[in-house]
Every structure is written in C-alpha cells, then in structure tokens.
Structure 1
Amino acid sequence: MNGLVLFIPALLWDLLLGEPPALVHPVVWFGKLAGLLDSRYRRRSPALDFLVGMVTALAVIVFALLLAISAPSAPYPLNYALAVYLLKSSFAVRSLHEHIARTITDNVKEKRKAVSMIVSRDVGKLDEPHLNSASIESLAENLNDSVVAPLFYFLLFGLPGALIYRAVNTLDAMLGYRNERYEYFGKFSARLDDLLNFIPARLTVLLYLPIGGKRVLRYYRLARFKINSDKPIAVMSAVLGVWLEKPGVYRFPGREPENGDIRRALRIYRLIVGEWVFTVLLLIATGVCTCLSR
C-alpha cells in the first residue's frame, strides 16, 4: 500500500483528533499483554527470569506483527482504514504536546501532578526547577520515542516496522528497569529497545542542528551517560541553554529551567516535528517516484 496514502491521513488523524480511546488503542493492548504475562510469572533465577522475559517480549512483538499483517487481508475499504488506524497508533505528536503543556503552571502542586503523569521518577522529592527539567527531558526523549523512531521504522519496513518498534518501546517502558523484579526479566526488552533506538536517537540529534548549530554537537559529546536516551535530552539542553538533570544519572550545564523554557521547548518540538514530517513525506514521495519510473 502506498506509504503517502497511509501516512498523510494518519498524521491528520493525530493532529486533529489525538489518541484513540484506551480500550481500542494497540499500544495499550501491548502494555496489557506484557503486564499480564509479567504478573503470572514468579521470579526464580536470573537465567530463567531472562528466558521468560525474552519469551514475554517476543509474544508481544508477534502480537504487534500479527496486527500489522492482518490489516491488508481485510476487505476494502476496511483494510485501508485499519492500516491508517494502526499507523496512527504508532506515533503521538499531539498527545505529547498536550501532556507537556499541562506542566506549564505556577502552581507547584499542579505542576508536580502533571509531571508525575509523564515521568517514572519520584516527583514528590523534586523542587520546581527539577520539575521543569523533568518536563523538558520527557519532551526531548519522547520526541524520539513517540515521533522520530516509529516513523523511521515505517520508512524502512512499513506498518510492521512502526508497530513492532512501538511494541518494543512499550516493553522497555514497562519492564526495562534496573531493580530486583526486572533486572533479568526485563533485560531482553531493554537491550532490544537500545538497539532499535540507536540510529533514531542520533537522527533526532541531527534534526536539532539547523536550530542549535555547533552547540548541539558540543552537548552531544557530553551525553555519555546512556546509550540513547540522553542524546536528545543533551541537545535540547544545548538549544535552550538550561541545565537538565536526572539526579544521580546525568546533568547537562546551563541556567536554571523555568516555566517559559517549557514553552520554548514546545516551540522547538514543533519545529523538529515539522522538519521530520517534511523529511518523511519527501522520502516516501521519492521512493514512490523511483518505483513509478522503473
């Protein structure tokens, strides 16, 4: 199926309507399946925990693949509608913007509640600058996870690529923790997510270059704390000129982040999304023209 015919209505759906209801959202299904398998398994030994965790991840990935390949087999126009719906569910431009916008408030209690909806850290211990930092960090990291990476894999592998990436990213968000329960059970999911994000995270950095220039590259070289997730955060710090910090994990230099910096970060987000959407459209159109010329 022509990529433009899928991508354009999926993008319009996202921008105009946002996310589908949780009851029928494929990403929610991925999470519920992973959660069900996780809850049914009692931890036993590192080797067995890793094996069962890998089987859990593969089960969710196979489920995502089956969803993707089932759409074309439906009768027309249901097959087209399903494909557009599934592609839209793999990325989230509008909802990410809305979640971050809710953190822009002078009421610290409301800000803390809004930030708690988008990060896993204990926000009860964070002061206002660190709450602002957490909001901007989440925006920068999820720009990769929720926009750049799924569409990157859509370009490479079509609808199956986008859905499988989203399934792996969901697995990492649920199981990829370094604690007693998930150290081994979630290791396969975490490492697979690292692998799939290696190129997209660096691609996201490149998208900042027209905005931040050499400062982006300088901060990128400071991002040595994690394999992927700190790279987009570092370059957002560079462009804004504020420090971004996850205490005990990383800190990028700058002045103290304020409410206004979250607004600026959202403006940068819209610019980067615009760059990436234009690039995706151009690459799909070029691929279509190449195929038609043969």
Structure 2
Amino acid sequence: MQTLFAQQPVFCYIAVALFGLIVGSFLNVVILRLPRMMQAEWRASAAEILNQPVAVSASSRVTLSQPRSTCGHCQAPIKPWHNIPVVSFLLLRGQCANCAHPISLQYPAVEITSAVLAVIVVAVFGMTPFTGFALIFTWTLIASAMIDWQTQFLPDALLLPLLWLGLLISLGYEHNFSLVDPGTAIIGAASGYLVLWLVFHLFRLVTGKHGMGYGDFKLLAVIGAWLGWQALPIVLLMSSLAGAVVGGALMLTGFLERGKPMPFGPWLALAGWLTLVAGDTIGGAYSSLAGLR
C-alpha cells in the first residue's frame, strides 16, 4: 500500500477525498439524528424515574439508519440519486427536488470538510498504521464539534469510544499505531479532564455560574489520550484564543447576545486537530514568538 501511494499519489489522494465525501455524508446523518436519539433516551429515563409510561411508536423511533432521510420542510423521501455528496447539492442548486425549499449549506460543508481534512491527514502521516486511526479521530471531532455548536451537547456516544480507542492504540506505540506511549496517553487523558474540571469549579465558585459543560472535560481528555499531556497547553491556548476571537466577532455583529453561552467544544476540536497534524510547527512558532528559543 505504501508503494502504491508513492507511485500514484494523485490517484490515492483522489480516492481518499472521495471516501471522505462519503464519510461526510454519514457524519451529516450523525449530526442530525444523534441529538434526537439522545433526547428520546433522556425522556425514557426520566419517565422511568417518575414511574410514567412512555409511548414510543415504531414510526417515531429514530436511529442512524431509520427512518429514511426526508426533506425537513415537506417530508418528501430523499431519493438515493439526490443524496450523492456535494454533487446532488450542486445539481439541485441547493434546493429540495420536491418543494424547492433551500437545503442547508451544512450538508456540503461537512462533506467537503471531511474530505479535505482526510486528505491532509494522509498527506501528513502517509500510509502508516496510525493514519486510519487519525482519520477516525478527525471525523469524530467533526461530528462532535457540529453537534456541540448546534445543541451545546457533546455526546458520550462519540467521546467515550474515542477516548478508549486513543488509550488502546497507545499500546501499539512502538509499532507506529499511536503518537504517544501508554503512560503519556493515560496522563494526558487524566490531565485533560482534571484541568477543565478545576477551571469549571473555580469559575463557579467565583461567579456562581457554569462556564462550560462536562462534555468539554471529556473532549480535552480525548485529546490528551491521543496527543499526550504535552499537547494540552497549546490546545487550550489555541482553543481559548479562537473562542474569544469568534465570540467577540459574533457579539460585535449581533449574531451572539452578550451573556449568552457559546459552545467551547468546536474550538477544542479545532485546536486538537491542528495539533494532530501540525503540532511541532505550531509549538515551534509559539516558542519563537514567545522568545523561548
């Protein structure tokens, strides 16, 4: 496989990009349906605690595969040939084939992002044992960030498997299955969770408010497990700066009301991914700017 990639890099990049588009289409399903599945689970749990019946019909049950995808406006089923990543959006001119209602730009944006980031990951790591895991890390971060941006929830169903996967592949560090050894991964996961846990409780004691959610702790623990505790300072710095800049811009333009919370997960995910593919470069640039070398 490595020889094929070296001989036909353009072909391999195109194949990776096409596969990334397909995965991006699936990520859109996850982004749309997983929050609904979580809400249904919470309602069922609350009803069980309150000793109340929960009537859930088969037609209303939502999974990642059922029911069929439909237009959110007219509820018309989406035909398979109208569901081709990016291409269908362009051919339909961004409108539903049945009612001409605009299709959200989120769909092609997630698909293109999934493809572009996949190509970058392959370009950085090549066809190595770690590359497949890095793609899983990347795509899960995309879904988690989008769900958090829309709902301010970071699903355990995405974060916890990714955390355990990061810890498990560290066992194969000597065989290039991971960027960090098991000790570094474990300390990274624990440090990532505890750092934001402490910040959360200090902020609550000082202001009486909740500054972030527990999902943010878990996401930083995931990043620590995959990249090691050494990556956490630069991840926190970049995510805080990105959140402050974007949050300030949104308030200045009126898209975000002052005092209204903005999710932190997308900026953690962005910083974590940038550190994955360019951690040494970013760390070196920061050290030079800070006069540390």
TM-score tier (shorter): under 0.3
- TM value normalised by structure 2: 0.27
Tell which structure's C-alpha radius of gyration is larger. 2
Which structure has the highest helix share of the two? 1
